[in-house]
């Protein structure tokens, strides 16, 4: 397994095969094989994936599957699901799949079945959620809770915020959730300025309970409650999620209001753990169960569907193909659903914190490209900003367009228009518009070069019936497993994130000087020092 991926025969074969597909034209591929749209498609766990508008043929898929086999993907997948240590640098299992396992499953981590503990936690979350939702959990002055403020950052925030937006139609009326992640005080002020402390519950989420941004916001929240309602109110207005029970106790939150989880769940894989309490309160335990079922269905599909029909495997391998062999080193996430507007941000962390690495899992330097840059915005907004570059720019950009057959808004006409745009954009990206087409339409010779759209831009279309909790769980698990597949092929540890430590440590070194208004010359390079001095001069003036 330690063998460089670039030395594998399938990698070489793909490298030799790539120039043929680079030269091929999607129009011709569809002309030669009119059934292509049906053939290069797969479905599972409520999702339909059309990948026919990628520059692939049957041979490409065969070679990519050979690559997965040569890279022992089935064995790696089994190791992850069964709780083996797959996060080598931190010597941990990565058992997020256990979070959605059924009650009677048996999954061992360090020799102990983790499933009963997970379900005990879910039961406590259900009980607490119901109390908040039906008003039996009140604030210190007896008022029911009407506002939840979820405090956390990165994986302790992006999933819950994304899910809260995505599942808007399933939320309980009269109960809103706000999110505070940034240590910029404006985020805290914005979340709290119009709400009544007596009706507010803070949910502090931090795996480590040491993350400075989260701790600063949690302290501000504590102060806000104490100022308005007194010290004794803290116990009615705070709950916490963490693996660090001691730090929560020190903060002053009682163990009954603490929901733990485990260090074998990485932050970016934790939205259905206790970190999802705000989601459960917002949509209710029954809908949360449907979310878990969606995750579970995609887990089953990933485990059992043959590779050539397996959505996460196909998506992961296509991403490798586009990135490593065709040079599309960015991936645009383009949901045609207003509710999924935070999906690109969520998937940025999922992909880039997992696979943004230049070192292999055994510490070796990697010579091949790893994670693509992930970005995106919902359609149709994005069509009026950056799609110009997608259609006529000099780069190849892989695109995932995501849409739903049923509208959630009740405005059916809007929905047809929205989906017409999705289908049209995928068509335009693939087939473009040639000079010949334009000439036939009578376009002037002068403007023809400007109007030509070269086409041949790779895209996946993911289509589901409706954006429900089930579909969302399935969609998130699809991307989780696709990221896993890519990491396994590249040979990186997809579950650590050492790269974020350096900046955090340097900020902690700079902060005391800023707080004390002290100009420490010669501690930093001339650029950093110059910026610090400028900031301090302004602060002290
Ligand atoms: O930025 C790195 C990171 O550790 C993420 O992986 C994590 O999701 C985030 O910070 C928050 O960490 P915590 O949950 O420990 O506060």
Backbone CA torsion sign across 519, 184, 222, 265: negative
Q: Which atom of ligand 1 is nearest to the CA of 497?
A: 6
Angle between helices 58-70 and 469-490 (to 10 degrees): 70
Q: Please report the pLDDT score of residue 1 as a whole number.
A: 55
Q: Which pair of structure tokens corresponds to residue 94?
A: 């990565």
pLDDT by 10s per residue, the chain, length 541:
568 999 999 999 999 999 999 999 999 999 999 999 999 999 999 999 999 999 999 999 999 999 999 999 999 999 999 999 999 999 999 999 999 999 999 999 989 999 999 999 999 999 999 999 999 999 999 999 999 999 999 999 999 999 999 999 999 999 999 999 999 999 999 999 999 999 999 999 999 999 999 999 999 999 999 999 999 999 999 999 998 989 998 888 988 899 988 999 999 999 999 999 999 999 999 999 999 999 999 999 999 999 999 999 999 999 999 999 999 999 999 999 999 999 999 999 999 999 999 999 999 999 999 999 999 999 999 999 999 999 999 999 999 999 999 998 888 899 999 999 999 999 999 999 999 999 999 999 999 999 999 999 999 999 999 999 999 999 999 999 999 999 999 999 999 999 999 999 999 989 998 999 987 767 889 999 999 999 999 999 9
For residue 494, CA distances in Å to 78, 92, 216, 322, 491 come to 15, 12, 29, 19, 9
* Helix orientation angle between 311-320 and 58-70, rounded to the nearest 10 degrees: 100
> Phi-psi region for residue 194, left (φ > 0), alpha (ψ -120 to 50) or beta?
alpha
- Residue 113 DSSP label: E
Nearest CA to ligand 1 atom 9: 154
* Helix, strand, coil percentages for the chain (3-state, nearest 5): 55, 15, 30
Q: Which of 114, 48, 103 is nearest to 81 (CA)?
A: 114
Whether ligand 1 lies within 6 angstroms of the CB of 60 is answered as: no
In short, whether 507's Cβ falls inside 6 Å of ligand 1 is: no
CA-based nearest residue to 277, from 341, 201, 189, 193 = 201
Instruction: Give DSSP secondary structure letters for 343-412.
Output: HHHHHHHHHHHHH--SB-TTSPBP-S--PPEEEE--TTGGGGTTHHHHHHSSS--EEEEEEESS-SSS-H
Q: Rounded to the nearest 5 degrees, what angle is found at the Cα of 125, between the Cα atoms of 123 and 129?
A: 120
Q: Is the CB of 206 under 6 A from ligand 1?
A: yes
Check residue 366 and give its pLDDT: 97
Pick the closest to residue 78 from 97, 61, 65 (CA basis). 97
Relative to the CA of 242, which ligand 1 atom is closest? 14
Cα(207) to centroid(ligand 1), Å: 7
Torsion of CA 347, 350, 354, 355, to 10 degrees: -10
Q: Is 214 in the pocket of ligand 1 (CB under 6 A)?
A: yes
Angle at alpha carbon of residue 347, lines to 341 and 352, rounded to 5°: 145
Indicate if ligand 1 lies below 6 Å from the C-beta of 405: no
Q: Residue 179 belongs to what H/E stretch?
A: strand 176-180
Neighbours of 393 (CB within 10 A): 13
**What is the distance of C-alpha 140 from the center of its chain?**
36
C-alpha span between 92 and 88 (Å, rounded)? 7
Closest CA to 191 of 148, 227, 229, 162: 148
- Cα distance between residue 225 and residue 245, in whole Å: 22
**242 pocket-lining for ligand 1 (C-beta < 6 Å):** no
Task: Note the pLDDT of residue 320.
Answer: 98
215 lines ligand 1 (CB under 6 A): no
Nearest to 404 by CA among 503, 490, 471: 471
Taking the CA of residue 270 as reference, the ligand 1 atom at the shortest distance is: 8
Q: Reduce the DSSP state of residue 205 to 3 states and report it.
A: strand
Q: Which atom of ligand 1 is nearest to the CA of 208?
A: 15
In the DSSP assignment, the letter for residue 494 is T
Q: Give per-residue pLDDT as tens, 504-540.
A: 999 998 999 899 998 776 788 999 999 999 999 999 9
pLDDT tens, 237-277? 999 999 898 999 888 898 889 998 899 999 999 999 999 99
Residue owning tokens 């009682």: 254
pLDDT of 521 reads 62
How many Å lie between the centroid of ligand 1 and the Cα of residue 266?
Answer: 8
Task: Kindly report the three-state secondary structure assignment for every residue of 209-221.
Answer: CCCHHHHHHHHHH
Whether 503 and 197 have beta carbons less than 8 Å apart is answered as no
Which residues are part of the catalytic machinery? 353, 384, 504
* Ligand 1 centroid from CA 333, angstroms: 23
Alpha-carbon span 499 to 25, nearest angstrom: 39
C-alpha torsion 124→130→131→135, nearest 10: 170
Task: Determine the Cα–Cα distance for residues 435 and 491; give it in Å rounded to an integer.
Answer: 44
Ligand 1: centre distance to CA 228 (Å) = 30
Q: Is the peptide bond before 380 cis (omega within 30 degrees of 0)?
A: yes
Q: How far is CA 8 from CA 4, 69, 78, 82, 274, in A?
A: 7, 11, 22, 27, 41
């Amino acid at each position: 397994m330690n063998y460089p991926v670039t030395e594998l025969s399938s990698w070489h074969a793909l490298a030799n095969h790539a120039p043929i597909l680079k030269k091929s034209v999607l129009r011709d591929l569809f002309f030669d094989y009119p059934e292509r749209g049906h053939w290069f498609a797969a479905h599972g766990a409520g999702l339909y994936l059309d990948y026919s508008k990628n520059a692939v043929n049957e041979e490409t898929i065969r070679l990519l599957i050979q690559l997965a086999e040569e890279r022992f993907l089935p064995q790696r997948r089994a190791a992850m699901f069964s709780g083996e240590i797959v996060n080598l640098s931190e010597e941990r299992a990565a058992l997020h799949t256990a979070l959605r396992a059924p009650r009677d499953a048996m999954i061992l981590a360090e020799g102990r079945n983790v499933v009963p503990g997970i379900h005990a936690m879910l039961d406590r979350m259900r009980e607490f959620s119901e109390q908040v939702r039906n008003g039996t959990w009140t604030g210190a002055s007896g008022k029911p809770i009407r506002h939840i403020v979820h405090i956390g950052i990165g994986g302790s925030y992006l999933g819950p915020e994304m899910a809260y937006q995505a599942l808007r139609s399933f939320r309980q009326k009269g109960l809103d959730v706000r999110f505070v992640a940034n240590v910029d005080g404006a985020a805290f002020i914005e979340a709290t300025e119009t709400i009544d402390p007596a009706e507010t519950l803070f949910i502090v989420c931090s795996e480590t309970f040491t993350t400075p941004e989260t701790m600063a916001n949690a302290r501000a929240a504590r102060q806000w409650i104490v100022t308005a309602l007194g010290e004794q109110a803290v116990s009615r207005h705070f709950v916490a999620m963490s693996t660090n029970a001691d730090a929560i106790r020190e903060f002053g939150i009682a163990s009954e209001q603490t929901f733990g989880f485990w260090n074998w769940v990485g932050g970016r894989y934790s939205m259905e753990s206790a970190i999802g309490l705000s989601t459960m309160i917002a949509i209710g335990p029954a809908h949360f169960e449907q979310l878990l079922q969606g995750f579970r269905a995609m887990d089953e599909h990933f485990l059992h569907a043959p590779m050539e029909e397996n959505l996460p495997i196909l998506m992961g391998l296509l991403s490798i193909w586009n990135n490593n062999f065709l040079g599309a080193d960015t991936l645009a996430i383009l949901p045609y659903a207003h509710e999924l507007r935070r999906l690109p941000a969520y998937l940025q962390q999922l992909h880039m914190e997992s696979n943004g690495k230049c070192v292999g899992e055994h510490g070796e330097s990697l010579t091949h490209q790893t994670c693509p840059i992930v970005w995106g915005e919902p359609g149709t907004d994005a069509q009026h900003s950056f799609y110009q570059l997608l259609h006529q720019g000099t780069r190849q950009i892989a695109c995932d367009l995501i849409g739903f057959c049923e509208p959630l808004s009740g405005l059916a006409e809007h929905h047809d228009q929205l989906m017409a745009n999705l289908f049209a954009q995928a068509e335009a990206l693939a087939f473009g518009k040639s000079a010949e087409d334009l000439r036939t339409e009578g376009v002037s010779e002068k403007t023809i070069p400007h109007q030509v759209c070269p086409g041949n831009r790779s895209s996946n279309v993911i289509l589901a019936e409706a954006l429900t909790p089930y579909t969302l769980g399935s969609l998130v698990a699809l991307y989780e497993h696709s990221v896993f597949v890519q990491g396994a092929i590249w040979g990186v540890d997809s579950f650590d994130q050492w790269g974020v430590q350096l900046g955090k440590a340097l900020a902690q070194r700079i902060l005391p000087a800023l707080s004390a208004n002290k100009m420490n010359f010669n501690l930093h390079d001339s650029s950093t020092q110059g910026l610090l001095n400028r900031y301090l001069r302004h602060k002290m003036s």
